[in-house]
Amino acid sequence: MGKTVVEKILARAAGRGAVTAGDVVEPAADLAMSHENAALVINQFLEIYQGTGLEPRIWDPSKVAIIFDHRVPAESPKTATNQKKVREFVRANGITKFHDIRGDLGGICHQVLPENGYVRPGAVVLGTDSHTTSHGALGAFAFGIGATEMASVWALGIALNVEVPGTIKVIVRGHLRRMVGPKDVILHLVGRLTAEGANFKVLEFHGDTIDAMPTSGRLVLCNMSVEAGATSGIVPADDETLRYLREEAHVEDVLHPVRPDADAVYERMVEIDATALEPQVACPHAVDNVHSIGDVEGTRVHQIVIGSCTNGRLDDLELAAGILRGHKVAEGVRMLVFPASGRIYTQALLKGYIADFVQAGAVVMNPGCGPCLGVHEGALGDGEVALSTTNRNFKGRMGNPKSEVYLCSPAVAAASALTGTISDPRHVMAEIGAAR
Amino acid sequence: MSKVVLTLGDDVSTDVIYPGRYMATVLPTETPQFAFADDAEFNAKLTAKHVPPGSVVVAGKNFGCGSSREQAVSTLNGHELMIVAKGFARIFLQNAVNLGLRLVEAPEIEAAEGEELEIAADAVVNTTTGKRFRRLPLPPARAAIVAAGGLIPYTRKRLLEGTRA
């Protein structure tokens, strides 16, 4: 019987000949990632060793990654003290994949991991962040866990009691229209599957649209797979994966891409015709409340956010800067831009995108998670509406339960910044063109 | 017998259970103050200790969707709440098992605030309405963690047995 990607990865990582969806395995971790919540992981880790007579020792410090991104630079003495504690722990335990608050090496964990080549095809990646699903874009099995489970992984190097997930095969075919991109594909998919449609399942992406999509776009798909409840999204590694890892992440080791068997057994199949897809918008207060842009055009917005682990990559910034260049953010609208990493920030600076944003009236912030989850800057006022390229719009997500958040692509966000209402970038571009 | 103190719909996110703006607070001794913080009325009842331990929150499908934040579990644990839901999101379910939060999965549950539930091994009985609902068992793999008293003692046991990658 043929195997899916996740079945093959877990068989290898658990040292078994073959596993099938539903089996319970204990896979070895290839990478164990945390952000500021490492402060809690440390507490739980030390607690495990209480009364054992054993010295607390991380099973393999070279496989642990810690990236500060949620509240950077620290917004409070409490956060700063937790970050200090993590820093000391990192030093004492020889953790090398540590990214502190720095303009060059820092950034959001789901960009820092891939761009530094920490994620490899076929790897088991665990992270104390639900958007760890992102790393499936490189052909890994990557999933979110809580802090206590991470403490267990630090101690044992394996994930205990993992059920091999069933897989939903997602096939995307055809050329995406102009101003329609990976974000529209995943919003559409989450809308179709619903917020729990893939709970406990893996989404495995296939089709010529995916084949032609760069890793940056695949990261968007896998990042938001969790919004349909998926344990992970996976794009089986291919030539593009290898290109990304060699050229952009500068990985030199031998890589072992994992492909599914032609006769792999899937729980179900979902097909998407990319050629028919319009720009998509997720409306308050649910990520699966997805509409084509025509349904919500004209909705007044007060804050535009471009960035995050979902859409803060160079091609996102390039697209948005191209729309904004030479124009002004509408009066009464605040626009925030936060690149996904220091490396991307630098590239955007050198290419002039940052100047485009600032001259248009946007505020460019340091890479981090801040506004997306309402922990650090960019809070909304009562009754205000945000249009954001981030990944969640739950009630209160941006720090105020009396506000509303719509989710969209960078193209829709940039176009809407110019008009002050939710706008179709194709219409805005046509008007700009006519005015020129 | 457990009293229903709050009823919620489908897809209740961790942002509702424990808003992101309180994530700098991590200690289980400190997280309970922010339980359902955006529901000012219910939060006030909890923090004033007007909700007896063992009280039940009844929810729909996909309870705990969203973030992996463990505060969403420790905050409920702090008030000794039990969650009876039609279904749970994966990470929340795992975190709850790991930290010993009492979860009951009853896909057809119907209960209103003020009603009383009796929780049996394979069923939930709404003693106010007299209706009986099936209860799904935890997968055996998770039962081992529950039996050990949570993931910390379970990991400790495995560590002492010599389990290590």
Q: Residue A128: CB partners within 8 Å, gap ≥ 6? A: A33, A34, A35, A37, A38, A41, A144, A145, A146, A147, A150, B68
Inform me whether the pLDDT recorded for A368 exceeds 80.
Answer: yes
Q: Which helix (H) or strand (E) holds A6?
A: helix A5-13
> What proportion of chain B, given as a percentage, has pLDDT over 70?
100
* Closest CB from B23, B141, B163 relative to A24: B141
Instruction: Return the number of CB contacts < 8 Å for A and B.
Output: 170
Q: Does A149 touch chain B (CB under 8 A)?
A: yes
B141 located within any domain: yes
Indicate the residue type of B34. Answer: F
> What proportion of chain A, given as a percentage, has pLDDT over 90?
96
Distance of alpha carbon A344 from alpha carbon A363, whole angstroms: 16
CB contact under 8 A, B151 and A29: no
Nearest to A403 by CA among A380, A377, A373: A380
Which of chain B's residues have a Cβ under 8 Å away from the Cβ of A373?
15, 20-21, 23, 67
B40 located within any domain: yes
Inform me whether the pLDDT recorded for A217 exceeds 70.
Answer: yes
Token code pair at residue B44: 């006030």
* Residue ranges per structural domain of chain A: 5-272, 281-435
Contacting A residues, span 272-301, partner chain B, CB-CB under 8 Å: 286, 288
CB contact under 8 A, A196 and B151: no
Distance of alpha carbon A360 from alpha carbon A317, whole angstroms: 13
Q: What is the pLDDT along chain B (165 residues), one digit of tens a residue?
A: 899 999 999 999 999 999 999 999 999 999 999 999 999 999 999 999 999 999 999 999 999 999 999 999 999 999 999 999 999 999 999 999 999 999 999 999 999 999 999 999 999 999 999 999 999 998 777 888 999 999 999 999 999 998 777
At A434, is the pLDDT very low, low, confident or very high (cuts 50, 70, 90)? low
B165 located within any domain: no
Token code pair at residue B30: 């400190």
Which of chain B's residues have a Cβ under 8 Å away from the Cβ of A29?
165
Mean pLDDT across A170-192: 98
Residue in B16, B33, B41, B67 to test binding to A, most A beta-carbons within 10 Å: B67
* Closest CB from B20, B38, B141 relative to A161: B141
Domain count, chain B: 1
Token code pair at residue A96: 């090398």
B75 located within any domain: yes
**What ipTM score was computed for the predicted complex, to two decimals?**
0.97
- When the pLDDT of each residue in chain A is averaged and rounded to a whole number, the result is 97
The reported pLDDT for the residue numbered B8 is 98
Inform me whether the pLDDT recorded for A426 exceeds 70.
Answer: yes
B13 located within any domain: yes
CATH of domain A281-435: 3.30.499.10
Inform me whether the pLDDT recorded for A433 exceeds 80.
Answer: no
Mean pLDDT across A47-61: 97
Mean pLDDT across A44-70: 97
Distance of alpha carbon A179 from alpha carbon B26, whole angstroms: 41
CB contact under 8 A, B69 and A37: yes
The reported pLDDT for the residue numbered A354 is 98
Are the CB atoms for B83 and B59 separated by under 8 Å?
A: yes
CATH of domain A5-272: 3.30.499.10
Q: Residue A101: CB partners within 8 Å, gap ≥ 6? A: A68, A72, A73, A74, A83
Distance of alpha carbon A306 from alpha carbon A290, whole angstroms: 19
The reported pLDDT for the residue numbered A435 is 67
The reported pLDDT for the residue numbered A256 is 95
Q: Which helix (H) or strand (E) holds B105?
A: strand B102-105
> What's B124's domain CATH number?
3.20.19.10
B86 located within any domain: yes
Nearest to A198 by CA among A219, A173, A227, A221: A227
Inform me whether the pLDDT recorded for A124 exceeds 90.
Answer: yes
CA distance B88 to chain A (A): 9
Q: How far is CA A28 from the centre of its chain?
A: 23
Q: Is the preceding omega at residue A285 within 30 degrees of 0, hence cis?
A: yes
pTM above the 0.95 mark?
A: yes
| Tens-place pLDDT, residues B138-164 | 877 788 899 999 999 999 999 999 877
- When the pLDDT of each residue in chain B is averaged and rounded to a whole number, the result is 95
Please give the residue range of the domain that contains residue B100. Answer: 2-160
Inform me whether the pLDDT recorded for A73 exceeds 70.
Answer: yes
B60 located within any domain: yes
The reported pLDDT for the residue numbered B29 is 95
